[in-house]
Structure 1
């Protein structure tokens, strides 16, 4: 597979030339470089790539009084979690001082 040096699009062969269908750039084919390209049979399948979970480590801090009786903190980390099967989200709070957790929907 050859990619265009001008725009980065995948190039296609036309005779002895690689042609970019996006920008029209043309390059002569190099048989030695093409022989070094890996064929699909020689490639290794490592499985599906890992997908980032947007709900993890996405906390923010805000001014919110802690409801714990023995805590005077007015700062809490929070994260928004989609409610299963629902059309709204739940805000989960964690006090930055005592670690008390509570939710608001």
Structure 2
């Protein structure tokens, strides 16, 4: 991937040159520089991870939390993920180790 020196837009490869979609600026391609670039080519597929042989204690951190399904304070596994914009807090995902119920919490 290459970025335009004129306007900063992403350029596209067109035979022996890079062409900017934004302003039309063109640059010659450099094979040596392109060989050092990291690509996503060949990384399109998702792989499934088999967790069936993993001990429950190795799946993630736990905390004492009231399970909405059991309606009692239980040990629950949790993980945090950034699923909204970076200026908002992470979403917490919980799984009850007793009944397997899953829920999430967001800061409002």
Looking at CA atoms only, which structure, 1 or 2, has the larger radius of gyration? 1
TM-score (norm 1): 0.41
